[in-house]
Structure 1
Amino acid sequence: MGRVLITPRSLTASPPPELGRLREAGHDLIFSTPGEMPGEAELLELVPEVDGWLAGVEPVSPAVIAAANRLSVISRNGSGVDNLPMAVLEKRGIKIARAMAANATGVAELAVGLTVAACRHLPEVCHGVRDGGWPRPKGREIEGAVVGVLGAGAIGRKVAGIFAEFGADVLAVDPCRPDLGRLAGRVRYVDLPELLERSDIITLHCPATADGSPLIDAAALARMRKGAILVNTARAGLIDEAALVAALDAGRIAAYATDVFVLEPPAAGGLAAHPKVIATSHIGGLTDESVRRATDQAVDNLLACLGGTLDAAG
């Protein structure tokens, strides 16, 4: 029926059975280099004559879209579209489909794990014991702390709920202020200045700003409490890296724990190598369960646009 390009690293490294539904519906699958994020040159080679695209977080340029002469739909295996040239796609009439909230649990759990690691100096302790030492740095507890959650979408609300169960005082910022449901009374909406000034821990779960400028810039860092912990499992562009390094060096920010970088993998000796940074390799949604949910939704969206049955697998 059609040709479908598959580019997410989690799907090309080890194609999951969920992709089989596309083949059963008569579509041919084309994969980018297994386990690697495709660059513009590779995408330019792959996109001609492709009807559908199951896309990851790889940057997609207008030139790539121009070369995709038959493309009718891009189906993301996540919710973000910051990597896509939306104006160009809209002009071409190419549909964008997203797997909303599919990886929310995986990302939320990683954000909490990174927070605990920062509070208890786990990388330092682990490396010290592995090297034959016995480091015992004094940590801090989340219970009783003020935790600020920037973004109250599916991921942010899960994170807020976990921290509320830990006994933290949870503040949230979201311009849409979605209904908190069962979290009402346990999580409180505030404005951004109050969240920055009061929070001991701040965790980011929001999209990029409209103009692409960092949300946490030098001014925001200056408003944060001395010794605060900053966690980012959302988007690297939300942070002014130069200002953050200065705040880490000055001791204003105690630790930065992140799963995202502007350049992935990051350059050696950069932010990821800072002694107060805990870095992971964009693994928030990389769990068996999250990959399965996201792939199922992305395949459903492709089948709805390209043709085929949504329950071909039974």
Structure 2
Amino acid sequence: MEIHSTQPGRNRTVLVSQRFFDAAATAFLEEHGCHVRLAELPPGQADGGLPEAALQAMLEGADGWIVGHAHVSRSLLEKLPQLRVVARRGVGYDRVDMDAIRDLGKVGTVAVGGNDACVADHTLGMMLALAHRLRESQRRMEAGDWTILPGRDLYRKTVGIVGLGRIGRAVVERLRAFHANILVATPTPSETYGQANNISYVNLPTLLEQSDYISLHAPLTPETRALIDAGALARMKRGAFLINTARGGLVDDAALLQALLSGHLGGAGLDVFQSEADPAMQEVTRQLLALPNVVATPHAGASTHEGLERTNMLAARCVVAALDGTAIPPACLIADGRRAREVQPC
């Protein structure tokens, strides 16, 4: 694995360990006194699969790190005293040890708002692909069978949204064009938002039982891990569709596989998988991918050209703000240990 440098000789170094970091974001960092190092990863390799030793070697001498899905652990951060800011090019941070960032006097940020639109579009695309059986139809046509497979409408169907953050709201906005009946399960309902958007807040069991489509937009926390387990899947309507563009750990993929094989569910749209964090689940993922009523992508919902440009620039701005000691947008700041660094015991 090679590291390519641009503009050597600057007094601050920022490592970018993700692909698709564009010229505008690189130029912004350089204009603000940063020497940018771009990690060249092997084909098919993302930073999330790199061992800690490789990450440590890449990060030696770095003041800032723009990271994708790598595990940002306490043991890694303890070996990098010069590193001051970890900026995720994304919004999830379940792989970031925020307590360690605070304890060690560092800063952690996310790129809030950069990928809402593209993930919401991806979600609707998966709903429509499943409903109209696009994968099944193309596979049959490739085999010479042009038999028409009747699909289903999204128009005026009941859609359940689990989690109502920025992406969940963007999905609601798009579903209004389909005149969908929208149910939402969230721990923090807003009656004003609900009335303005004609949505109904319900508990999760009700949502599972009544929805034709269920789309997950919750963060992965100890409370939400395996939120959609065998029991939850059994509650879903026969023939319903499950879409997960949030985090793989929200769904018990083995239970999902059984629900699909049994014919209980109509299909699943999956951009995330348990196997991303747990290699022992790779066989389950392989079996899910083989099913004709599964539409899958490799955690690519946020990866449009425009979405990547937005999140790249947000991450770059957060890095510069942290290194300069200027204000970081509050929504982007997930952990701030700078005060702890400044106030050391005598």
Same fold per superposition (TM over 0.5): yes
Contact 1:150 1:206 in 2 (8 A): yes
Moved more, 54-63 or 186-195: 54-63
- d(CA) in 1 for partners of 2:68, 2:312: 11
2:20 paired with 1:10? yes
Alignment-derived partner of residue 6 in structure 2: none
Deviations 1:88-111 (A, max 9, x none): 222212211121121000000000
Q: What 5-or-longer segments of structure 1 have no aligned partner?
A: none
Report how many residues are paired. Answer: 307
Letter in 2 for 1:278: V
* Deviation string, structure 1 residues 58-82 (Cα, Å, up to 9, x no partner): 2333332222221111111221111
Q: Does 1:274 align with 2:297?
A: no
The more displaced of 254-263 and 125-134 is 125-134
Q: What is aligned with 1:30?
A: 37
* Displacement after TM superposition at 1:87 (Å): 2.1
Amino acid at match of 1:33: E
**What residue is the counterpart of 1:20 in the other structure?**
27
In the alignment, which residue of structure 2 is the partner of 1:141?
Answer: 153
Query: Of 226, 240, 243, which residue of structure 2 is paired with 1:214?
Result: 226
Aligned residue among 217, 221, 232 for 2:244: 232
1:242 to 254, 259, 265: 254
Deviation of 1:295 after TM superposition, in Å, equals: 1.3
In 2, the alpha carbon distance for the partners of 1:176 and 1:153 equals 10
The residue aligned with 2:300 is: 283
Query: Residues 166, 212 of structure 1: CA spacing in aligned structure 2 closer, same or farther, 3 A cutoff?
Result: closer
Farther-moved stretch of structure 1 (62-71 vs 219-228): 62-71
Selected match of 1:165 from 152, 162, 177: 177
Of 213, 228, 236, 1:201 maps to: 213
Q: 1:294 maps to what in 2? A: 311
Distance 1:126 1:49, change over 3 A: same
- The 3-state SS of whatever aligns with 2:177 is helix
Are 1:102 and 2:109 an aligned pair? no
How far off is 1:198 after superposition?
0.5
- In 1: Cα distance, 2:147 partner to 2:26 partner: 47
Structure 2 Cα separation of the partners of residues 179 and 89 of structure 1: 36
SS of the aligned residue for 1:68 comes to: coil
Cα distance 1:180–1:152, how it changes in 2: closer, same or farther (>3 A)?
A: farther
Q: What secondary structure sits across from 1:9 in the alignment? A: coil
Aligned position for 1:115: 127
C-alpha deviation, 1:230, in angstroms: 0.1
Distance 1:114 1:146 in 2: 16
CA contact (8 A) 1:26 1:308 kept: no
Q: In structure 1, how many angstroms separate the alpha carbons of the residues matched to 2:164 and 2:60?
A: 39
Do the aligned partners of 1:47 and 1:64 also contact (CA within 8 Å) in 2?
no
For normalisation by structure 1, the TM-score amounts to: 0.91
Residues 205-246 of structure 1, C-alpha deviation per residue, up to 9 Å, x if partnerless?
110133562110111111111111000100000000111111
Q: How does 1:9-88 map to 2 (within 5 A)?
A: 9-11=19-21, 15-34=22-41, 36-38=45-47, 39-40=50-51, 41-88=53-100
Q: Which amino acid aligns with 1:4?
A: V
Q: CA deviation at 1:178?
A: 4.2
* Letter of the structure 1 residue corresponding to residue 38 of structure 2: F
- Aligned identity (percent) is 35
Determine helix, strand or coil for the equivalent of 1:32.
Answer: strand
Alignment check: 8 A CA contact 2:116 2:166 kept: yes
Separation in structure 2 between the aligned mates of residue 190 and residue 142 of structure 1, nearest angstrom:
20
The one-letter amino acid paired with 1:68 is: L
Q: Distance in 2 between matches of 1:43 and 1:84?
A: 14
